[in-house]
Amino acid sequence: MAAAVGSEERMELNLTPLLDVVLQLIMFFMMCVNFVMDQVDPNVLLPSSVSARELPPKTDIQVIVVNMEVVREDVIGPDGKPVRDPKTGKVVRTPISPRTTKVSILTYRQRSEGRMSEEERRSLEPKIVFLVEQATDADLEKVSEYLVRIGYLPRDNKQRPEAEQIKVLPEGNGLATAQRFLANIARAIEVTDPKKVTKLEGGRRLIDVPVILRADRDALYGTVTHLIAQCNFEGFKKVDLRATIHQQKPTAASP
């Protein structure tokens, strides 16, 4: 009996739409990662805490980040070379004198449906101020020169318009400036993104935008608490204080 041999049709899967979707996902995550990295100051040495909990993954990027970095310099040994930690091999760094804290406030990028005024736009731009502890005029000048040398201040800072200069101020004046930044940001959010703001009695408000405070372990306790109090006063519902998780060494079991 003769057998009939049928022709086989080969099916191929079209991967073009799948590749397009994967490419778009990669671009989305790259944008999110870059935004978060721009807000995190890698020079801030966070304190460690036993009670610190690991952060769950989040996709919400609408946050305000307050970085408080204590400015440091390399420790130089007798041989004129930087001293290195024998355990980690990293260069040992110590806070400069007088103690100087860099406060940088970075806000989320808001796409307002209405028209944003120039003043409101400036209020949502990144803000930086340096707080110098117990500083004289000579101290402020010395610190400013050092900040220019390490690249923390632009060389033309003093030639810029007053509103565009990065301020190097005594601790009290600098703290008041940082608090004023937070107040301006709160007012700008109220105008540009009213859905995030809940009006309360007595003129109070609640702002549904988290504030992440990344305070250096050597930052002054009073400065940290004043900024937290200012956030609460402006109505920010949630203020998170960042810390690294302290790993406790296991204790030997008793016989």
Reported as a single tens digit per residue, the pLDDT across 8-56 is 556 666 767 777 777 777 766 555 544 444 456 667 766 655 444 544 4
Mean pLDDT of 147-168: 90
Domain ranges for the chain:
46-245
227-236 average pLDDT score: 93
Each residue of 81-117: pLDDT tens digit? Answer: 899 988 888 888 999 999 999 999 887 655 544 556 6
21 to each of 12, 18, 58, how far by Cα in Å?
19, 5, 21
Across residues 145-170, what is the average pLDDT?
A: 90
Q: What percentage of the chain has pLDDT greater than the value 90?
A: 34
Q: What angle do CA 112, 117, 123 make, to 5 degrees?
A: 85
Q: Is the pLDDT of residue 170 over 70?
A: yes
The per-residue pLDDT of the chain, averaged, comes to 79
User: What is the model's pLDDT at position 234?
Assistant: 93
Q: Which residue has the higher pLDDT, 57 or 131?
A: 131
Model pTM above 0.75:
no
Say which residues have a Cβ less than 8 Å from residue 243's Cβ, sequence separation at least 6: 46, 47, 48, 49, 52
pLDDT at 134 over 50: yes
Please tell me the predicted confidence (pLDDT) of residue 125.
76
CB 189 within 8 A of CB 236: no
Question: Length of the chain in residues, anyone?
Answer: 255
pLDDT at 21: 73
pLDDT bin (cut points 50, 70, 90) of residue 161 is confident
User: CB 104: neighbour CB atoms within 10 A?
Assistant: 21
Q: How far is CA 10 from the centre of its chain?
A: 55
Q: Give the other-Cβ count within 10 Å of 41's Cβ.
A: 16
pLDDT for the residue numbered 34: 46
Q: How confident is the model at residue 61 (pLDDT cuts 50, 70, 90)?
A: low
Strands of the chain (E only): list them: 48-49, 64-70, 72-74, 93-95, 100-106, 127-132, 167-170, 197-199, 205-207, 211-215, 239-241, 244-245
The pLDDT score that the predictor gives to residue 225 is: 93
Q: Take residue 63 and report the two structure tokens written for it.
A: 């946050």
